Structure formats: C-alpha cells, structure tokens
Chains A and B, each alone.
Chain A
Amino acid sequence: MGFLELHNISLSFGGIVALSQVSLSVESGRLFAIIGPNGAGKTSLLNCISGFYCPQEGGIKFDGRELVGLRPDQVARLGVARTFQNVELFGRLSVIDNMLLGRHNHFRDGFFKNILLGYLAEQETVNRTKVEEIIDFLEMEKWRKHIVANLPYGVQKRVELGRALAQEPKILLLDEPMAGMNLEETEDMARFILDIHQELGVTIVLIEHDMDVVMDISQRVCVLDFGQKIAEGTPEEVQRDHAVQNAYLGENYETMIKGELRS
C-alpha cells in the first residue's frame, strides 16, 4: 500500500476523455515522475489529486485518507502542496507575503488574536523565521521584498516552489517546474528539487517534459498517453519500453530526448 494511491481514476469532460482507468502507487520518500505528450492528462491527474477536478470513477488515497470529494483547501490541509504549470501566485504581493500565505495553516492564532495583536503576535515571528529559512534554502534573498508580478518567470516559478515548501507538505506535486526556463535556471531548479527530496525527505510527484531532467533525477517514472497509463518503472526500464517509444512520435527515442519540447 503506497503513500499516495490512485485506483482506477477516470475523468472526462463531455466527450473528451482526459483520464481512463489510471492507477498509480507512490511510496513514501520517492521522487516519482509522470511524463507524457501534450494533452496526455498529466495536469488533469494532479487536479484530481488536489481536489480541483472530481474524477467520475475511482478513488485516491493519501496517507490512508480518501481525497476524492474533498475541496482543494481540505486536501492542502492534509499535507499536499502543489505548483502549477502556469504559475499561480499572488502577483500584487511581495515574495515574503506569498510565502507567509503558504504557512496559512501553520498559524495557531485565530481571528480575535489577529486583530488584537497584529504583527506583534509571536506566531508572526515564528512563521516569518520559517519563511526566511526557505528563502535562504532556495537562494531568493535578493528578491525577498520584491512584488512577485515584477519578477522574471523563472524566479516566479521558484517563489511558487517556495510557497509550496512553506506549507511543510508531506507530498509535493510539481507541474512542469522547469517549463519556460533557460538552461541555468533549469539546473538550479533540478538541484532544488533534489535537495528538497534528499535533505527534507519530502515525497515528490514531478511532471516534466524535459526528458534529461526526468531521467536524471527521478527514481520511478510513469508514462501517460491519451489519458491512459502505458508504462511504469525505473527511468531505464521506461526508456527501453516500446509502447513509450511509440507514444513519443512513434519513432526512435533519440528524437524523444532531443526533440521533445525543450520549449
């Protein structure tokens, strides 16, 4: 029994089948990658886990709890954090405020303590300290007080990762964290993801188009195509899999590494 367990998930929008009968099992402490061509259903899968979509069939168990039917904020409170393919940040707020918002459910004070004490509350300092640690960890010191909307895209992705980390999640769902980044930013991001996995011991589910990265850092890979799971295994096993090679352009898999959407 895995830490995160998807059992025969099916999801369709009108006539479009986004996911059909997908089962997955992610063990605790794993760095688990999900790959697949455009429109394969990867983002839909994460949306089912984090409560934005409700699958028509199947169940999702996390840490022994059923997730299907919960609201996104309830899922988040169980220790599931998430980043998005197109960054979802609070653009008008500073980096620090974005990350403090990530700690929303770690504050213990209620409304009345809030209005009586304001920023003088001890909880503010405690959580602020935590946020500063994460800012150091992700090497974002120089942007601490910047308004997020004014930051370059690559940095915004890092802030979003930071906000997810601030939640102190048990599992981290990352939807294409390197998309739209240059080589250097991609390398930084890969390093951070590995650090989070190894130093902090967080279980990670990673969606990524960049094959080099996936093969480098993940321990287990699952391949989706047209909403179906076509392969799962170690990176080497998956690379050798014929179904996978066919899914990717149906040609040799050299093309897959070189050509596959280094966009």
Chain B
Amino acid sequence: MAVTRFCVRTYRQDLRILSSPAAKIGLILFLLVLLTLPLWARKYLVFVACISGVSVIGALGLNILTGMTGLISLGHAAFMGLGAYTAAILSAKAGWPMVPCLLSGAVMSAVMGAIVGVPTLRLKGLYLVVTTLAFQFIVQHVIYHWESLTQSDKGIKLATPAFLGLEFGSYDSFYYVILFCAVLVAVLTKNLAMSRTGRALVAVRDRDIAAEIIGVNLAKYKILAFVVSSFVAGLSGALYAYLLGLIAPDHFTFNQSILYVAMIIVGGMGTVLGSVLGAVFMVLLPEVISAVSGPLASAYPTLAPRIGGISVVVYGLVIILFLLFEPEGLFGIWIRLKRYFKTWPYTY
C-alpha cells in the first residue's frame, strides 16, 4: 500500500525529538559548552556543575518512579545513600576500582528497590508515601548506627577514582565522568519514555483499570519502575560519593528526599527535560540565595543571624508557587516559549 509506506516515513518525523535545524544547532552549542566547561570555568563553578550533574541523574531516577509511573516516594535519598555507601565501602575496604564500585552501588540500590516495591503493590497514595518514608528513616538509622561498616558520622573516605589508568581525582576530571553518566542516563530515559515500556508505566500512572484491560501487568511494571528508579538513584549516589571523596550520613537525609521531589515538581513531572531543568534550578537556587544574602547581611547586620533561614523559606515558596501557577513546571514554560517563538512575530 503506497499510502502506508508514505506514512512510515512521516511517523519517524512525527516522533523526532529535534525537529528544526535551530534546535539541532542549539543542542550542539550547549553540548560544546558542557564539554569545554572545565577549561574556562572557575573551580567552584565546575564543582557546582558536578553537583548539578549528580542531581540531574537523581531527579531522572525519581521522575521514572513518580513522574512516569505515579508512585510517590519520599525515600529517594535513601536509595542514593545505599548506592553511595555500597560504592564507598567497596572502594575503601575492598579496594575495588571505580567502575565496579559505581555499578555495585546502582545494583545494590536496585535490589532494595525491588524489595521496597513488593509491599507497595498493595498500597496506594498516602500509604505508599508512608512506606517509602519509613524506608528513608530505616536506611538513615542503619547508616548512622552500623558503625563497624559505615563509620557513622566519621564518614568513609573513598580511594581516588581511576579508570583504564586515568585518574579522576580532581573536580575538573571527575566532571567528565559525571557528564558522561548524566547524558547516558538522560538518553536512555528518553528512549524509555518513547517506547512500549515507558507507555506502560504511564498507563499504570493514569488508570489502573484501563492499563489492565489492555494487558499491562500492573505488578510487573510497578516493580520495574522501582528497580529502574533506584538503580539510577544508586548510580547518582555512588557518583556523589566519589565526587565528595568522603561521605557521611547527613548527605542522604529526609531533607534530600524532599529536595528531589521539589526538583521534579519544579522541573516538570514525567519529562526528561523537566528533570534536567528542575535539578539544575534547585542546585543553583541556594547559590543565588547566598549570593544575594551576603551583601544583604552586611547592609543590615541586625538581620544577619536570620538570613540563614531564608533559603528554607525560599525552597518552600518556590514549590508552592510552582504547584499553584505552573503545575507543568519549567518544562511547561519551555514548551510555551518554544511555541511562542515558532509563531513569532505572529502572536496567535
């Protein structure tokens, strides 16, 4: 059928992520900036970029579970902690090299994800949230109190990361490890979203009954979402451990879990671009706050002791504002801007 053959070509065009040449050039420029960043940026900026990269990976992981599949988790930092501590212990105590440590961290977290996922098959909404919350506190507690393994708040110092004889001890060099992982996870997540598995996850999120009637095994896909999400979280945590070189229990607290929920709300639920935007936004926000509050404190010395608390207030405010006025997050704003410029200068 001639018509069908014609259609086959247009489907791919339908689906293409980068439809215009401008978008392609934009992406290439953006990648160039990212690739050359350590060459021209100050050390602190490189560090912030590294933190952003780790957060992007973490946010992608949470967005697979919460944004795509609709399973809300307040225990994301616990999964990151599992990955981080697995990598740290294997690196410090067993002397494993970087790549096996990173992968073990991710796998360890994924296995725990499967275990946490099973009871949540029977739980919905608030009950699920409470289960993940309990998991968060259990992991926090174990990390703090299993001193022989985790050295509690003394922390664990990791060996200098190395791969194929190359050392990644500095921020400048480890930046590339993080960048590679972040781009890889983002691309694979995008692929996931645009394939059968991703659609099934969204089906589970949007309607249990309808998902079942078309033959989607709810249990299988809920567990899958937990496993994939915590695998990615574990990887993110392991990278974080290597980045800091020393990890302690307070890196993976309940506050961190909330921060990740904030990232995907601010960025946009269930989208890859949203995860990226949200993570970067939430990492940069405290930087902006401290840049502003520094001069503020010297201008009004009486206020100085209170200014530390401002950042928490601003976090809360940002989340509330996004929930109220932009439920689709930065992703939604981005889409609208794009549409605006596509039709510019016509405003219809």
Does B224 touch A at the CB level, under 8 Å?
yes
CB–CB A111/B224 < 8 A: yes
Does B206 touch A at the CB level, under 8 Å?
yes
Does A105 touch B at the CB level, under 8 Å?
yes
CB–CB A89/B210 < 8 A: yes
Assuming the contacts A76-B212, A125-B12, A129-B7, asked whether A90 and B202 have C-beta atoms less than 8 A apart, the reply is: yes
Q: How far is the CA of A241 from the CA of B218 in the complex (A)?
A: 44
Assuming the contacts A92-B206, A107-B196, asked whether A132 and B214 have C-beta atoms less than 8 A apart, the reply is: no
CB–CB A73/B191 < 8 A: no
| Closest CB in chain B relative to A125 CB, distance in Å | 6
Chain A residues whose CB sits within 8 angstroms of the CB of B188 once the complex forms: 115-116
Mark out the residues of chain A between 53 and 87 whose CB falls within 8 Å of any chain B CB in the assembled complex: 71-73, 76-77, 81-82, 84
CB–CB A115/B192 < 8 A: yes
CB–CB B212/A114 < 8 A: no
CB–CB A88/B206 < 8 A: no
Assuming the contacts A88-B210, A125-B11, asked whether A104 and B195 have C-beta atoms less than 8 A apart, the reply is: no
Chain A residues whose CB sits within 8 angstroms of the CB of B244 once the complex forms: none
Q: How far is the CA of A150 from the CA of B194 in the complex (A)?
A: 22
Assuming the contacts A114-B197, A129-B8, asked whether A88 and B213 have C-beta atoms less than 8 A apart, the reply is: yes
CB–CB A72/B213 < 8 A: yes
Does A2 touch B at the CB level, under 8 Å?
no
Does B217 touch A at the CB level, under 8 Å?
yes
| Closest CB in chain A relative to B206 CB, distance in Å | 5
Does A170 touch B at the CB level, under 8 Å?
no
CB–CB B196/A123 < 8 A: yes
Q: How far is the CA of A82 from the CA of B212 in the complex (A)?
A: 11
- In the complex, what residue of chain A is closest to B220 when comparing beta carbons? A73
CB–CB A167/B12 < 8 A: no
User: In terms of DSSP, what is the predominant structure of the interface of chain B?
Assistant: helix
Chain A residues whose CB sits within 8 angstroms of the CB of B125 once the complex forms: none
Q: How far is the CA of A52 from the CA of B207 in the complex (A)?
A: 14
Interface size on A, residues (CB 8 A): 43
CB–CB B190/A104 < 8 A: no
Chain B residues whose CB sits within 8 angstroms of the CB of A118 once the complex forms: 190-192, 194-195
CB–CB B199/A117 < 8 A: no
| Closest CB in chain B relative to A123 CB, distance in Å | 7
Chain B residues whose CB sits within 8 angstroms of the CB of A121 once the complex forms: 195
Q: How far is the CA of A73 from the CA of B195 in the complex (A)?
A: 19
Complex partner residue of A167 from B11, B206, B215, CB under 8 angstroms: B215
CB–CB B213/A116 < 8 A: no
Assuming the contacts A91-B206, A118-B190, A128-B11, asked whether A101 and B214 have C-beta atoms less than 8 A apart, the reply is: yes
Chain A residues whose CB sits within 8 angstroms of the CB of B206 once the complex forms: 90-93
Mark out the residues of chain B between 18 and 62 whose CB falls within 8 Å of any chain A CB in the assembled complex: none
Does A203 touch B at the CB level, under 8 Å?
no
Chain A residues whose CB sits within 8 angstroms of the CB of B214 once the complex forms: 73, 76, 81, 101-102, 104-105, 163, 167
Chain A residues whose CB sits within 8 angstroms of the CB of B194 once the complex forms: 118-119, 124
Q: How far is the CA of A23 from the CA of B216 in the complex (A)?
A: 29
Chain B residues whose CB sits within 8 angstroms of the CB of A105 once the complex forms: 214-215
Complex partner residue of B207 from A82, A88, A97, A100, CB under 8 angstroms: A88
| Closest CB in chain B relative to A141 CB, distance in Å | 11
CB–CB A73/B4 < 8 A: no
Q: How far is the CA of A87 from the CA of B11 in the complex (A)?
A: 27
Does A50 touch B at the CB level, under 8 Å?
yes
Chain A residues whose CB sits within 8 angstroms of the CB of B196 once the complex forms: 104, 107, 109, 114, 123
CB–CB B203/A71 < 8 A: no
| Closest CB in chain B relative to A67 CB, distance in Å | 14
CB–CB A111/B11 < 8 A: no
CB–CB B199/A100 < 8 A: yes
CB–CB B203/A90 < 8 A: yes
| Closest CB in chain A relative to B94 CB, distance in Å | 29
CB–CB A97/B199 < 8 A: yes
Does A133 touch B at the CB level, under 8 Å?
yes
B residues sitting closer than 8 Å to A (CB atoms) are 4, 7-8, 11-12, 15, 188-192, 194-200, 202-203, 206-207, 209-218, 224
A residues sitting closer than 8 Å to B (CB atoms) are 50-52, 71-73, 76-77, 81-82, 84, 88-93, 97, 100-102, 104-105, 107, 109, 111, 114-121, 123-125, 128-129, 132-133, 163, 167
Top 5 closest A-B pairs, CB basis? A118-B191, A76-B215, A114-B195, A72-B212, A88-B210
Query: Can you sample 27 A-B contacts with CB below 8 Å?
Result: A50-B213, A72-B213, A73-B217, A81-B214, A82-B213, A84-B209, A88-B210, A90-B210, A101-B200, A101-B211, A105-B215, A114-B191, A114-B195, A114-B198, A115-B188, A115-B191, A115-B195, A115-B197, A118-B192, A118-B195, A119-B194, A119-B195, A124-B11, A129-B8, A129-B11, A163-B214, A167-B215
Known A-B contacts: A81-B214, A89-B207. Give 17 more (CB < 8 A). A73-B211, A73-B217, A76-B212, A89-B210, A90-B203, A90-B207, A101-B200, A101-B214, A101-B216, A102-B214, A104-B199, A115-B195, A119-B195, A120-B12, A125-B11, A129-B8, A163-B214
